[in-house]
Structure 1
Amino acid sequence: MKGRFIAIGGLASTVAASVVSSVDLQHAIFPSSSDSLLHQLYGDLLRPHDGQGHTEEVGSWLQNGRVMEFGLDPDEDLEFQAQCGFYQKHPVEFPDDDWSGDLPLFSGIVSFAHVPVAQCFEHRHTEQAAKYDIAIVGAPYDGSVSYRPGARFGPNNLRQGSRRLGKGFLPVRGFPGSKLRTLDPYNAGYKIVDCGDVPMSPYDNRIALNQLYRGQRAIYNATTVKDGLMVPKVVTLGGDHTTTLMALRAAHAHHGPVAVIHFDSHIDTWDPKVLGGGITKTQSINHGTFLHFAHEYGYIADNKSMHVGIRAPFIEKSDETHDYDCGFEKIVARDFDIYGFREIVDRIKKRVGDLPVYISVDIDVLDIAAAPGTGTPEPGGLTSRELLTVLDGLEGLNVIGADVVEVSPPFDSNGEITSIVAAQVVDSFLGLMTVA
């Protein structure tokens, strides 16, 4: 390559508040001749852009910021000449040092959808206590699974899967004519924060679940910002499905019995004598019995809750009767091939009425092809589009809390399919919670 750059003028670049001057840095990194090709290509990127940096010329190639002609031999390669001509006509323009023009996609702490991080468990009952309207919190727990562990890593992967979320309207959100079509949940007048994860013991399930309840209770007891909202709304990132029991317990203290819309391939109302408790008493509460206990303890309203997407086999013949006694009706996965979305949504809304609603999504409600990273996968499930369409159709319900659980990263694909879908489910929750 015989051509030589004489000058590439341009704006200053990004090194803010450096102890060493930009010129010194350039000499350190590019000790060769100041008019070398490498120096001319990269020397300018060491200069600040905030108007406070050095203004002296950087090497003999920069002449008062003017773009100079390239000096090329007549017999230089035509492709190289074309490249030089492009850079001459289009000099690089670096962003300002205030960072407002930089992409936040891969920067900063990875909170869910880049919402602010809050210290939700500190300084309670003091002026320093965090205030918010919607709290996102992780429950890193998988001590009560019956098959594949790994969901304790779910909250972190959900946040990773949400990096492209945080602003913008969705042209498919809600049914045609819905207010959701013109909604940006992250800028809808609600203060949304990520509380991080509740500290949960990996050694003792009883201690861990108590820790989660205390964390959920602290979040619900926080002061809100939005006028008219008395209690924060809470979105939990699981964790195995047992974590929903603690979320329901905390929600019940403020809202009374709630209606649960439970998206899952399993009923999760199993009698503990059938699942877990018949082996040891300490395993009576697990990810397949938590709804039995939620009903027994009075956290959910009688005959007002609904399963959606059920398809896993029962364990005992009596399971279906016991499920009904726990207050649930069900829409099975194959009903999606028989009924339209509006009919499915209408059945759900009619069932829950005007009660406060808690939505719980076990990611295994999706087909194993759509969500391989889960603890107890079942074939024949919903597509991600079907799940998101039904969720958006629930617009108008009083959604006071929600969760997405059983995301198990060790079994996910290298394309992060499950965590990306699960993050989009949370985005739908936020739409339901913020739509006017």
Structure 2
Amino acid sequence: MYKPKDSSMSPRFCGVKTFMRLEQKSTTEGVDFAVLGVPFDTAQSYRVGARLGPNHIRNASSLLRPYNPDQDIDIFEYCSGVDYGDLDVIPGNIQRTYDNIVEGLTPLLQKGITPIILGGDHSISLGNLRAFAKQFGPIALIHFDSHSDTWDHYYGEKYMHGTPFRRAVEEGLIDVRHSIQIGMRGPLYGPNDIDDARALGFEVITMKEVRKIGYQEVLQRIHSRVQNALVFVSFDIDFIDPAYAPGTGTPEIGGPTSIEAVELVQGLDGLNIVGFDLVEVLPAYDSGEITAVAASSIAYEMITLAALQKRRSLVASNK
């Protein structure tokens, strides 16, 4: 059983920084979830520096504790987890980085381990989805973001952080019938920036609509859309309002607070989630590390969802 160091016995400022003070171990034996970094950021279009995001999130995560009171579960009663380290990336070469992502994730997915992937810019999600589709076939997507990331190209380039989900649909990686995007907002080049995502088959709930219908209705629509499909969750930290998460590459005002974002992730409990990524954390713009705290908390809730899923499975098997 792999679990964090006990911070009541070992001070948080001791040791090499890993997520939640988990053991840094690249193993697939006796593991239910693995936190890993993909520090690639040369597909960003404005601010760069998300390559430093995984370690920034790890630094903030030392404050996390095993028991999640909101979900009433001690994660490590049900799950064993490690910090798997970072996958190797090739700066400036996105296609070879995608190959490395697929190669790195495949052993985890073959063993039924849930990856919690820390970016890096949002372009890495295409590599992640290639790995998941290779293992499971086309997979549903829940996408929290202020941008739909379904542009056809950026600067004439097909593989950027604003294009991964169009490419994923074109490659047949996503089951769009069960996929949904939440939080889109901000100035656009034209109405097609949102319409194109819908034309690709996604259900899209803009932030304006989120405010109108409320978060509980948003969760109901997510569950209704995804149903029993296997689902991958992709969370861009710029989904959160920059007042609560300033450390990101393309901030947009008008997003949810950090606790609203946490509650949305908590509300995904009950879905058949097989993996997560959390992207676009940019340390250089992170005042007081509040973005890192928010990001580590979101990742913690993702791990909690894996533990809740494992608990349900154990309860069902004991009936």
- TM-score after normalising by structure 1: 0.67
Cα deviation for residue 167 of structure 1 reads 1.5
Cα deviation for residue 429 of structure 1 reads 0.5
Query: Which residue of 137, 144, 165 corresponds with 1:256?
Result: 137
Cα deviation for residue 336 of structure 1 reads 3.5
Query: Which residue of 133, 152, 156 corresponds with 1:271?
Result: 152
Match of 2:234, SS?
Answer: strand
Matching residue of 1:117 = 24
Matching residue of 1:420 = 293
Cα deviation for residue 313 of structure 1 reads 3.0
2-structure distance, mates of 1:259, 1:169: 27
Given the superposition, is the C-alpha separation of residues 188 and 254 from structure 1 closer, same or farther in structure 2, using an over 3 Å criterion? farther
Cα deviation for residue 100 of structure 1 reads 9.3
Give RMSD over aligned pairs.
1.8
Alignment partner of 1:132 is 2:31: yes
Given the superposition, is the C-alpha separation of residues 101 and 325 from structure 1 closer, same or farther in structure 2, using an over 3 Å criterion? closer
Please list, as runs of the form range in 1=range in 2, the aligned pairs for 1:27-426 lying within 5 A after superposition. 102-120=9-27, 130-170=29-69, 173=70, 180=71, 182-185=72-75, 187-221=76-110, 223=111, 231-272=112-153, 275-276=154-155, 279=156, 283-413=157-287, 415-426=288-299
| Contiguous gaps of at least 5 residues in structure 1 | 1-98, 121-128, 174-179, 224-230
> Are the counterparts in 2 of residues 134 and 234 from structure 1 also a CA contact under 8 Å?
yes
2-structure distance, mates of 1:320, 1:109: 43
Cα deviation for residue 131 of structure 1 reads 4.2
Whichever residue aligns with residue 427 of structure 1, its letter is Y
Given the superposition, is the C-alpha separation of residues 372 and 100 from structure 1 closer, same or farther in structure 2, using an over 3 Å criterion? closer
Matching residue of 1:30 = none
Whichever residue aligns with residue 240 of structure 2, its letter is L
Q: Which has the higher strand share?
A: 2
> Are the counterparts in 2 of residues 114 and 166 from structure 1 also a CA contact under 8 Å?
no
Cα deviation for residue 247 of structure 1 reads 0.9
Matching residue of 1:226 = none
Whichever residue aligns with residue 195 of structure 1, its letter is Y
Q: Which has the higher contact order (CA 8 A, sep 6+)?
A: 2
Match of 1:218, SS?
Answer: helix
2-structure distance, mates of 1:215, 1:356: 20
Match of 1:303, SS?
Answer: helix
Structure 1 range deviating more: 351-360 or 199-208: 199-208
Cα deviation for residue 104 of structure 1 reads 3.8
> Are the counterparts in 1 of residues 101 and 131 from structure 2 also a CA contact under 8 Å?
no
Per-residue displacement from partner, 1:118-159 (whole Å, max 9, x unpaired)?
124xxxxxxxx6442111110001010111100000000010
2-structure distance, mates of 1:330, 1:203: 31
Cα deviation for residue 161 of structure 1 reads 1.1
| Contiguous gaps of at least 5 residues in structure 2 | 1-5, 313-319
Match of 1:235, SS?
Answer: strand
Whichever residue aligns with residue 39 of structure 2, its letter is P
Match of 2:78, SS?
Answer: coil
2-structure distance, mates of 1:100, 1:424: 17
> Are the counterparts in 2 of residues 167 and 184 from structure 1 also a CA contact under 8 Å?
yes
> Are the counterparts in 2 of residues 200 and 211 from structure 1 also a CA contact under 8 Å?
yes
1-structure distance, mates of 2:131, 2:24: 22
Cα deviation for residue 330 of structure 1 reads 1.5
> Are the counterparts in 2 of residues 233 and 400 from structure 1 also a CA contact under 8 Å?
yes
1-structure distance, mates of 2:8, 2:53: 32
2-structure distance, mates of 1:395, 1:146: 34
> Are the counterparts in 2 of residues 216 and 246 from structure 1 also a CA contact under 8 Å?
no
Given the superposition, is the C-alpha separation of residues 211 and 340 from structure 1 closer, same or farther in structure 2, using an over 3 Å criterion? same
Whichever residue aligns with residue 108 of structure 1, its letter is G
> Are the counterparts in 2 of residues 404 and 426 from structure 1 also a CA contact under 8 Å?
yes
Q: Which has the higher helix share?
A: 2
Match of 2:176, SS?
Answer: coil
Given the superposition, is the C-alpha separation of residues 399 and 100 from structure 1 closer, same or farther in structure 2, using an over 3 Å criterion? closer
Query: Which residue of 300, 307, 315 corresponds with 1:434?
Result: 307
